[in-house]
């Protein structure tokens, strides 16, 4: 790329990095650019890509506030809406699913930003496809996102939170720097998280492992944001006991059969063998998947509707009314099982308190999975991000930690005396554990608690 680029001091930069395809890379003040970039405010005239397309909102603002550039050889961007603070459009990258992207450069005042929230809410009301919002929001969500300056009141903090709730979007997981803006002052410094990426549930369905990186500052008082999104490669899922299984007679048949075997080893060994046998038997059943419940609900709803339609023509038909009762009972069973599973996966107790907003719980599940997934690891040899590299690094770390050579003692026969156990407590240390103690521990546990390493939760032991 020929020519020097002049970067204004107040500049927000974001790029999209899609690791599933090969993209051309350029150097721009130590910032690697791939195939799509947006800059704010726009004051650059040089091309960044050989086959470059661009769009801006200059007709809404002088000078322009947002400039979107992309490499047409790899990326397509079809803008469908623009305003003083926003450019919205559809992004396409090869064989990856298309997604909508809204580039934001919010105004400085609350009143001016109200127009931005209205525009974004209008977009969200007719949007069920993957959607990401990225850029400088000029406000933040939580107290911890601001260091220095005058603390904001709760009503000011609610501005972005209210929009996120109304639009059904959430913060995308991030790595790198936390604060994205610095007022460039040595005295009275202020650091704020003004720049962020937010997504809807559909985006996490399509790109569940997506995250963005807040890179180091490069000639601007705003930190660059780098989106990493690729299609999710589903790996083998670990076994986890589902509470709704206990509603099926087949589950109890498998449980009784698994534990109905002679003792030919120690009780604890036999117990674990029984659990392993039960786990393998459950894996072979179609009802072990939550998809069985969701598909069953759709089929039962259709059958229920058909039965009601037939009854309208012959309301006193005994067979039709019997079939309706049977279908209604089974539908209630499946809906109860589905609510139980969603509540368990969300690790939430709203359903037990009368809440039935499953859509909110779905969003919570996806958000927690996206947030808890390890995106990068910092090691002595540098930052790594691939699954295999991170797995090897963790294994080697704990190998070195637990297999370290024993320290050499000056006197191997000298053992320092620590605090001794009081004599009146000695008997309790060797006393046999009673069945009542075991039972009390099991039934005091939370049924929906996280499962143990073998996948069985307190709920399994309490019900079986």
pLDDT digits (tens, 9 = 90+) for 182-207: 888 888 888 889 899 999 988 888 88
**Structure confidence at residue 120 as a pLDDT band (50, 70, 90):** very high
Topology, domain 12-228 = Deoxyribonuclease I; Chain A (3.60.10)
pLDDT: is 376 or 410 the higher one? Answer: 376
pLDDT digits (tens, 9 = 90+) for 28-43: 222 223 445 554 444 4
154 DSSP 8-state letter: H
pLDDT digits (tens, 9 = 90+) for 327-351: 999 999 888 888 888 777 766 444 3
Q: What is the mean pLDDT of the chain?
A: 79
Other CB atoms within 10 A of residue 375 CB: 17
- DSSP alpha helix (H) spans, 375-450: 387-402, 423-430, 435-444
Residue closest to 24 by CA, chosen among 3, 52, 45, 44: 52
Report, as an integer, the average pLDDT of 305-321.
Answer: 90
153 DSSP 8-state letter: P
Report, as an integer, the average pLDDT of 248-268.
Answer: 88
CA distance 410 to 54: 72
CB neighbour burial string for 49-70, b if at least 16 within 10 angstroms, e if fewer: beeeebbbbeeebeebbbbbbb
Q: Which residue has the tokens 């002595």?
A: 380
pLDDT of residue 356: 44
pLDDT of residue 198: 93
- Burial of 433 (C-beta count, 10 Å sphere; 0-12/13-18/19+): exposed
Tell me if 214 sits within 8 A of 177, measured CB to CB: yes
Residue 221 neighbours by CB under 8 Å, 6+ apart: 9, 10, 181, 182, 183, 184
For residue 372 the two structure tokens come to 């808890």
Prediction pTM value: 0.57
The helix (H) or strand (E) run that includes residue 203 is helix 201-206
39 beta partners: 13, 67
pLDDT: is 396 or 356 the higher one? Answer: 396
- Ordered by start, the domain boundaries in the chain are 12-228, 243-372
pLDDT digits (tens, 9 = 90+) for 55-96: 888 888 765 578 888 888 888 899 999 998 899 999 988 778
Whole-angstrom CA distances from 318 to 155, 307, 323 are 61, 12, 9
pLDDT of residue 292: 87
pLDDT of residue 364: 67
For residue 28 the two structure tokens come to 């721009």
């Amino acid at each position: 790329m020929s020519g020097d680029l002049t970067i204004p001091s107040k500049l927000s930069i974001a790029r999209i990095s899609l690791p599933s395809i090969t993209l051309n890379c350029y150097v721009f003040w130590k910032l690697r650019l791939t195939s799509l970039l947006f800059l704010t405010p726009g004051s650059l005239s040089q091309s960044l890509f050989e086959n470059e397309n661009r769009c801006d909102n200059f007709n809404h603002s002088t000078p322009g506030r947002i400039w979107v550039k992309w490499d047409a050889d790899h990326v397509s961007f079809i803008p469908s809406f623009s305003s003083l603070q926003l450019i919205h459009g559809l992004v396409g990258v090869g064989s990856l699913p298309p997604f909508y992207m809204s580039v934001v450069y919010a105004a400085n005042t609350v009143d001016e930003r109200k127009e931005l929230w209205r525009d974004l809410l209008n977009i969200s009301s007719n949007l069920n496809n993957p959607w990401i919002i990225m850029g400088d929001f000029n406000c933040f969500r939580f107290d911890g996102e601001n260091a220095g300056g005058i603390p904001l009141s709760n009503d000011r903090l609610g501005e972005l939170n209210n929009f996120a709730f109304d639009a059904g979007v959430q913060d995308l997981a991030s790595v790198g720097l936390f604060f994205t803006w610095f007022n460039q002052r040595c005295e009275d410094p202020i650091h704020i998280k003004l720049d962020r990426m937010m997504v809807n549930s559909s985006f996490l369905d399509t790109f569940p492992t997506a995250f963005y990186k807040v890179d180091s500052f490069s000639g601007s008082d705003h930190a660059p944001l780098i989106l990493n999104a690729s299609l999710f490669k589903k790996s083998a899922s670990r076994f986890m006991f589902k509470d709704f299984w206990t509603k099926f007679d087949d589950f109890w048949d498998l449980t009784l059969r698994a534990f109905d075997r002679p003792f030919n080893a120690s009780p604890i060994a036999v117990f674990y063998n029984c659990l392993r046998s039960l786990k393998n038997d459950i894996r072979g059943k179609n009802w072990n998947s939550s998809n069985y419940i969701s598909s069953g609900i759709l089929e039962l709803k259709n059958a229920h509707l058909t039965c009601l339609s037939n009854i309208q023509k012959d309301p006193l038909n005994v067979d039709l009314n019997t079939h309706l009762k049977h279908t209604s009972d089974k539908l209630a069973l499946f809906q109860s099982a589905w609510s139980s599973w969603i509540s368990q996966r969300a690790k939430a107790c709203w359903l037990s308190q009368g809440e039935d907003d499953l859509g909110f719980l779905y969003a919570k599940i996806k958000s927690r999975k996206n947030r808890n997934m390890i995106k990068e690891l910092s090691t002595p040899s540098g930052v790594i991000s691939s699954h295999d590299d991170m797995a090897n690094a963790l294994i080697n770390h704990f190998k070195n930690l637990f297999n370290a050579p024993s320290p050499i003692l000056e006197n191997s026969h000298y053992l320092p005396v620590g605090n001794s156990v009081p004599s009146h407590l000695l008997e309790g240390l060797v006393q046999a554990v009673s069945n009542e103690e075991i039972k009390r521990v099991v039934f005091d546990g939370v049924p929906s608690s996280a499962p143990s390493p073998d996948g069985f939760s307190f709920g399994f032991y309490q019900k079986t």
